[in-house]
Amino acid sequence: MTLTAEVLDTRSLPAEQGVAQVLQRLGRLKPGQALDIVTCHEPTPLLQAVLAEFPLAFDFSPLRPAPGQWRYHVYRRDSRPQRSVTDYLAWDHDRLDALLDASMTAAQRAQWPVARALADDFGHGLLRHIQIEEEILFPAYEQATGMHQGGPTLVMRHEHVDIKQYLSGIMDGARQGDYDAMERNRADLLGVLVPHNMKEESILYPATDRFHHDAALESLVLRLMLG
């Protein structure tokens, strides 16, 4: 996956004009292209406008926020009849993998401001991904299957604890300009994260998709996207 995206900064515009400009720019994107949006307004109305105007055309996820501003990566997907949990969260896995790779490459070249900014986007994105899984996805799976105790979501929640620990090591390494520490923690992280993501993409996400149909599935995916 490429992370290459133009940046549209709407902070100088009133909220409604900012939304109009974002919709106009998104309308020109081709499948595979992306736009990074910066706004100083709470982004939910903007994201809802994107979903209303282009219901199935875009995936989006937050980048690291700053005081008084929000940033979103918006990716033009191939139009499909319906968006699934598997589509959206597997796309987010790929996006996060690409952010980590880009951060490590910049760190290896001692391009520390770039490496830190990418590590921040990766860290923010991975914590948010874990949060929407634990607060939205896993409860939906547990309710649909009746598997509350000892099921796969318990294993996933335990693995999230290890993932957060290694993520924190990568972030510390980036802050301290210590490539070796980043690399050590990256190796440990991938030792957990690669099989974790594989289990989610091959078992948990497809099972959740199978247990939800039509409006219920659409509503669940939208909650994940806006979460």
**Rounded least distance, CB 155 to Fe ion, Å:** 10
Q: Which is nearer to Fe ion, 59 or 200 (CB)?
A: 200
Residues that bind Fe ion (CB under 5 A): 133, 200
Q: Which is nearer to Fe ion, 44 or 202 (CB)?
A: 202
**Rounded least distance, CB 43 to Fe ion, Å:** 22
**Rounded least distance, CB 195 to Fe ion, Å:** 11
Q: Which is nearer to Fe ion, 19 or 204 (CB)?
A: 204
Nearest residue to 94 via CA among 71, 75, 69, 113: 75
Q: Which is nearer to Fe ion, 41 or 196 (CB)?
A: 196
User: Amino acid identity, residue 46?
Assistant: L
Per DSSP bridges, beta strands 70-76 and 6-9 are unpaired
**Rounded least distance, CB 138 to Fe ion, Å:** 9
Q: Which is nearer to Fe ion, 87 or 133 (CB)?
A: 133
**Rounded least distance, CB 198 to Fe ion, Å:** 10
Return the structure tokens found at 58: 């875009």
